[in-house]
């Protein structure tokens, strides 16, 4: 959630930043109006409370002087009613402001480039040179059929479209990738954690998936729980409503989970193959840091994901997302896109984001900073999307006869 104190202090600066992210100006003016209503409600309450305190002091004076207190008591009783009403008005105005603020995205950092969509993202660098093929490389779904690794038709039979089944080496390679990624991340100082695949509403509100993206989530009833869209949700919320010591920071964690998304906003996109599935596996990086360390940890996370791809001999590039492509909770994001020769393009395989205080404020994650409690910074990133990594290996390591070589780094995980 955006900083409501900053909103009160400098609305024009908040407005400037959020307009860069495409937030409707009318919505921001409504936010300002709600903030002013809350300020007036607080001012009215404080005036009534001051009057109440003043009248309470008068009681002592009246008693010492032997005056009749009946009129004063009547005024006190009348004011008590007004104070109770003012408290309720203040509560309602606070709830209205916070409810509206929950739908407002994070403010982008000033160094995030302006832009409308992914076409305006800025390439930072390329890593490894794509292989030159002496034949026309196939796309992964063709290779999947040739090698019997992935069965899309049986996935549909078991569930619906955008589900798949991995067989034989496809299934083994998927498991090898998960173990390799977790081991690699642990070697970079990220502690492994295993978390639930179902979470409550509070957890999704804490990381910003709710209320805005409820239509994209799978939900179960009685009790109300949601299948996670990413391990970012449960791992970040491990410290929901807690106050950490400064010595505990940074907390750097990695987790493997299955992830579930309806992909409601992606109709017609990547309907074939494994690029955009309703259920997919992912290894995630999450960090909870001191505000002064968050950029350092951000760079570590980007390097970790990039070096992992390098270890797998997969060409990729780093991209700085523009304001129009930036996620709801992100202050800034570096995407890592892997080269897919079958598609002759780079495709996103990791997205590393610094949300600064945005998620911490929603999830109430703080740290003891001297005598006061301050908000931590939270960061998250894919390291990596397992299915897309499998796709990248299939396309980059294919041979002319359709067979697929296995990257050297995975040989120990496959008994090769």
Cα separation, 88 vs 69, whole angstroms: 29
Asked if 173 and 390 touch (Cβ cutoff 8 Å), the reply is: yes
Instruction: Give the count of beta carbons closer than 10 Å to the beta carbon of residue 238.
Output: 17
261 a catalytic residue? yes
Name the nearest CA neighbour of 89 among 46, 50, 29, 32: 46
Question: Is 164 labelled a binding residue?
Answer: no
Question: Is 236 labelled a binding residue?
Answer: no
348 a catalytic residue? yes
Question: Is 380 labelled a binding residue?
Answer: yes
Question: Is 382 labelled a binding residue?
Answer: yes
Q: What DSSP element (H or E) covers 143?
A: helix 140-147
**Catalytic choice (294, 351, 353, 383):** 351
Question: Is 306 labelled a binding residue?
Answer: no
Question: Is 348 labelled a binding residue?
Answer: yes
**Catalytic choice (36, 242, 295, 348):** 348
Question: Is 118 labelled a binding residue?
Answer: no
**Catalytic choice (172, 276, 317, 347):** 276
Question: Is 214 labelled a binding residue?
Answer: no
Question: Is 56 labelled a binding residue?
Answer: no
Name the nearest CA neighbour of 348 among 270, 286, 261: 270
The neighbouring-strand residues paired with 374 are: 367
145 a catalytic residue? no
What are phi and psi for residue 58, nearest 5 degrees? -65, -30
> What does the buried/exposed string (b/e) look like for 153-187 if buried means 16 or more CB atoms within 10 Å of the residue's CB?
eebeeeeeebbbbbeeebebbbebbbebbbebbee
Question: Is 263 labelled a binding residue?
Answer: yes
Asked if 28 and 17 touch (Cβ cutoff 8 Å), the reply is: no
Question: Is 350 labelled a binding residue?
Answer: yes
Cα separation, 258 vs 35, whole angstroms: 40
Cα separation, 35 vs 357, whole angstroms: 20
Cα separation, 84 vs 48, whole angstroms: 10
Cα separation, 198 vs 283, whole angstroms: 17
**Catalytic choice (162, 353, 388, 395):** 388
Which residue bears the tokens 């109709």?
267
Cα separation, 269 vs 258, whole angstroms: 21
Residue 155 in 3-state DSSP? helix
Could you tell me which residues are annotated as the binding site?
A: 230-232, 261-263, 284, 348-351, 380, 382
Active-site amino acid positions:
261, 276, 348, 351, 388
Please give the annotated binding residues for ATP, written as ranges.
Answer: 261-263, 348-351
């Amino acid at each position: 959630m955006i900083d409501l104190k900053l909103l009160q202090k400098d609305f024009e600066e908040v407005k400037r930043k959020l307009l860069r992210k495409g937030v409707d100006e009318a919505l921001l003016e409504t936010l300002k109006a709600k903030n002013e209503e809350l300020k007036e409600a607080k001012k009215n309450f404080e005036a009534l409370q001051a009057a109440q305190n003043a009248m309470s002091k008068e009681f002592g004076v009246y008693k010492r002087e032997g005056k009749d207190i009946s009129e004063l008591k009547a005024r006190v009783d009348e004011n008590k009613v007004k104070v109770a009403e003012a408290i309720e008005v203040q509560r309602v105005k606070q709830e209205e402001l916070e409810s509206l603020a929950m739908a407002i995205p994070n403010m982008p950092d000033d160094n995030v480039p302006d832009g409308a969509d992914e076409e305006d993202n800025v390439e930072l660098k390329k890593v490894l040179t794509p292989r030159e093929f002496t034949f026309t490389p196939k796309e992964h779904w063709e290779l999947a059929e040739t090698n019997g690794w992935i069965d899309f038709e049986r996935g549909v039979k078991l569930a619906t479209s955008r589900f798949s089944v991995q067989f034989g080496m496809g299934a083994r390679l998927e498991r090898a990738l998960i173990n390799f990624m977790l081991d690699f991340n642990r070697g970079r100082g990220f502690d492994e954690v295993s978390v639930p695949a179902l979470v409550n509403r509070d957890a999704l509100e804490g990381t910003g998936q709710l209320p805005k993206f409820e239509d994209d989530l799978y939900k179960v009833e009685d009790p109300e729980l949601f299948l996670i869209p990413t391990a970012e949700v449960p791992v970040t919320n491990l410290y929901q409503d807690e106050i950490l010591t400064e010595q505990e920071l940074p907390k750097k964690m990695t987790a493997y989970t299955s992830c579930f998304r309806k992909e409601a906003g992606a109709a017609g996109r990547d309907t074939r193959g494994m690029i955009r599935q309703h259920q997919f596996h992912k290894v995630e990086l999450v960090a909870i840091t001191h505000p002064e360390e968050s950029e350092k940890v951000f760079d570590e996370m980007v390097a970790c994901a990039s070096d992992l791809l390098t270890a797998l001999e997969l060409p990729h590039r780093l991209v700085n997302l523009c304001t129009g492509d930036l996620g709801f909770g992100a202050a800034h994001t570096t995407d890592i896109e892997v080269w897919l020769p079958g598609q002759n393009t780079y495709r996103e395989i990791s997205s590393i984001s610094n949300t600064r205080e945005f998620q911490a404020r929603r999830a109430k994650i703080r740290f003891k900073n001297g005598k006061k409690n301050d908000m931590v910074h939270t960061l998250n990133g894919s390291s990596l999307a397992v299915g897309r990594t499998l796709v990248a290996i299939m396309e980059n390591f294919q041979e002319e006869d359709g067979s697929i070589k296995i990257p050297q780094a995975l040989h120990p995980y496959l008994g090769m």
